[in-house]
Amino acid sequence: MNKRATPWIFVTLLGLSIVFLFILVLSNYRSRFEVPVTTFFFLLVICDLGATYLLTRVLRSAASYSGTVMKGNLKLTGPAVVFFLILLIGYRFRPVEKSPLFNMAIYVAAPAGDPNMVEGIISILANNDVINATIDKNGKAMFPNLNRDYLGDSLHITSRIEGYKISKNNDTVLPVPDARGIQLKLLPAVDSTLYVGYIFKRNNIPVANATVKFSDHLKNVRTDEEGMFHVYLRAKPGERTDVMVFKDQVMCYSDKIYLGKNIKIVIDD
């Protein structure tokens, strides 16, 4: 009794389905574990050779291709067609290498003659991504690990800096520089007032390098060698505000004061 032979088309489709499933699994594996492109294609060729042998030698599958190449006719038959077909499917699901990352810094500087330490946050908008960075004590906001695709694009830069703004408006648009650094000159906010004050001990000795904290306005400034400080506040003269003074990280003054042309604060020895 003769057994009914299985049509070769079904066997071929079964083999191709197995290979296609393997490629999908491998593609998913490399997306999770970041398989290098060279490793992916090395494994693909090995699996392709094994699948071609399975389809053409074990399962007795056959395939042919004919077409026009370089103004001539090309016809391929046998295992080569199966091999290149599987390789083409693998190429379709090849891993895409991620663009290298780069770091960028934005430097902000207070107006000339203003000794205040700038504190706040700089935000950039690039390709619909919003990234925030805190300004450090050196006036630098660091943006690490930015996508290299941002290069050549324009950055929408905004800031939240008490008493200052980065341009005539509250934001600005600048191209990403090759030097990976942007310099911004701060401008006093229109709705802020400059106040000047002094910190003295009771014997009229100036207190240098003290930190004056205006907690109502989230603003900290330091005194110079003469005990003088400058601060921009969004408050009108005559208003009262909470002030704390720290020397060597020890609080030596805390009270409400009236804002005026010249502020004088006397602390205990």
pLDDT higher than 70, residue 25: no
CA dihedral for 149, 152, 153, 158, sign (positive or negative): positive
Query: Tens of pLDDT along 166-186?
Result: 876 666 777 776 666 888 888
Please give the single-letter amino acid code of residue 72.
Answer: G
Q: What is the pTM of this model?
A: 0.41
Bridge-based pairing of strands 211-214 and 219-222 is antiparallel
Residue 11 pLDDT: 59
Per the structure block, which two tokens stand in for 117? 């330490």
In angstroms, the CA 255 to CA 269 distance is 17
Tens-digit pLDDT profile for residues 133-163: 998 888 889 988 887 777 767 778 888 877 7
pLDDT in tens, 117-136: 677 888 888 766 788 899 88
Please report, in angstroms and rounded to a whole number, the separation of the first and last CA atoms in the chain: 114
DSSP for 176-194, written as a single string: PPTTSEEEEE-EE-TT-EE
pLDDT at 1 over 50: no
Domains (range + CATH), the chain: 8-92 (no CATH), 101-188 (2.60.40.10), 193-267 (2.60.40.1120)
